[in-house]
Amino acid sequence: MSLFLSIWIKLFFVFTPFFGLSMFLSTTEGYDEGRRRRLAMTVSMAVAVLCLILFFGGRQLFSLFGITLDAFRIGAGALLFLSGVSLVQGKKTVSDGLASDGDVAVVPLAIPIIVGPATTGTLLVMGAELEGVKEKILGSLALLSAVVCIAVVLLMASFIQRGVGARGVGILSKLTGLVLAALSAQMVMTGIQGFLCLQP
């Protein structure tokens, strides 16, 4: 149960839910509630499929490129740290314009807003760390639970916007950045420790 809770909480913050919420609100400005809810469900399903692929493909990808898990921990941790810093500073942006007319569910809302480079690296590392069948199942359930939480946040976008306002969402996004910075530091330290332990 502790493994489930650990992965669930980590992934929920790694998904940067409140940054995703602010981008979702910007993208769906002018949408009626029904259209906004349908888009939220489509985004959530796209995130779930993509994350499961990354979660189960990590070890094979490392083997293919000859990358050690500890090296990827350090690299993913660095990306996660940069993502956290950009959230705290309020500078995290998406290069592509968020046009409301096109299909924005997969790009840019699912990728790269919710599942960005830092999230991708974290999922690959987490999936590679879990070896047993029981651990893989618990990890998958925790991952899907985190995606469900993201879906709930998006489905309640209008309510949250009315409740806390744009400034409140910004503050929550900055707090998420602080948590990401701490998670990235732990990931980098674990990678360095693993690397040093392998040295003769």
Q: What is the pLDDT of residue 97?
A: 45
One DSSP character per residue, 79-113 reads HHHHHHHHHHHT----SS---SSS--IIIIIIIII
Q: What is the pLDDT of residue 63?
A: 84
- Contacts of residue 40, defined as CB under 8 A and 6 or more positions apart, other chains included, come to 24, 151, 154, 155, 157
Angstrom distance (rounded) from CA 36 to CA 32: 6
Q: What is the pLDDT of residue 96?
A: 44
Angstrom distance (rounded) from CA 20 to CA 124: 21
Give yes or no for a contact between 79 and 163, defined as CB atoms under 8 angstroms apart.
Answer: no
Q: What is the pLDDT of residue 66?
A: 86
Split the chain (200 residues) into runs of 10 and give each run's mean pLDDT.
92 94 90 93 96 91 86 90 89 51 78 91 93 93 97 95 90 92 93 80
Q: What is the pLDDT of residue 100?
A: 44
One DSSP character per residue, 118-151 reads HHHHHHHHHHHH--SHHHHHHHHHHHHHHHHHHH
The DSSP output letter for 90 is: T
18: left (phi > 0), else alpha (psi -120 to 50), else beta?
A: alpha
Dig out the tokens for 72 from the structure.
């990827």
Question: pLDDT tens-digit profile of 81-92?
Answer: 998 999 988 866
Q: What is the pLDDT of residue 95?
A: 44
